[in-house]
Amino acid sequence: MTERSMQEPTLLLLTALADAPRHGYALIQEIAAISDGRVRMRAGTLYGALDRLLGQGLIRVESDEVVDGRARRTYALSDTGRGALAVEAERLRAVAAEAERRLTAFRPRANGAFA
């Protein structure tokens, strides 16, 4: 049986953590940047997803600290998460390559029909 593809929030969260550990607010900003503003993750959704990813072993807590009197937890991608993200990136590359191949294989004729 093959694994199912990642849901977009999971993909975005793991991608946001792939190059550096980040705390919650930084993750929200990074996800907005990665998605070109298309995805704006709310705090409740973010922390629910982070708890789920921690439970699955895809991320880990990098540090817990207090900043300006508030607790700040920083998350990092685990080795398992890095592997899962690499597999998903390869799956997406293969799908995109096939889509490109099919798009270039058939050119519309002048009357709008396909060759």
Q: Report the C-alpha gap between 15 and 31 in whole angstroms.
A: 8
Of 62, 34, 79, which is closest to residue 9 (Cα–Cα)? 34
% of the chain surpassing 90 pLDDT: 77
Neighbours of 19 (CB within 10 A): 9
pLDDT of 2 over the 50 cut: no
pLDDT at 115 > cutoff 90: no
- How does pLDDT run across 7-53, given as a tens digit for each residue? 999 999 999 999 999 999 999 999 999 999 999 999 999 999 999 99
Number of residues in the chain: 115
Task: Kindly indicate the confidence band of residue 66, based on its pLDDT and cuts at 50, 70 and 90.
Answer: confident
